[in-house]
Amino acid sequence: MPPLSAHSLYQSPYCPFCVKVRSALQAMQLEIEMVDTVRDPEARQALINGGGRSMVPCLRIDHEDGSVEWMYESDDIIDYFRDNFAQ
């Protein structure tokens, strides 16, 4: 399991699914890097290039072997943090 610092959440300010994930992270007291795909067009393009879709929220996981995983579903993202990082 990569450390928390190897995760970043691609998201946008008003997307309700992003709000849900940010709230869950806050409730779990987990701080991860936030990437705003509305304010940062290059990040949006990186999301499309890497994950294949512009949809947010998407969790980027940088694995220790150098591979990158893109997780798109808000419920999957919340479950992932709950299962692996929540106290």
Count Cβ atoms below 10 Å from residue 15 Cβ, excluding itself. 17
**Region of 1-9, 27-35, 53-61, 78-86 interacting with ligand GSH (CB under 6 A):** 53-61
> Both tokens of residue 38?
């509305």
- Residue 48 or 86 with smaller CB distance to ligand GSH: 48
Q: Tell whether omega for the bond before 41 is within 30 degrees of 0, i.e. cis.
A: no
In whole angstroms, what is the distance from residue 40 CA to residue 9 CA? 13
State in angstroms the smallest separation of the CB of 51 from ligand GSH: 11
- The helix (run of H) or strand (run of E) holding residue 55 is none
Position among 54, 63, 68, 79 found at the interface with ligand GSH (CB under 6 A): 54
73 binds ligand GSH (CB under 6 A): yes
Which residues would be at the binding site for ligand GSH (CB under 6 A)?
A: 15-17, 54-57, 73-74
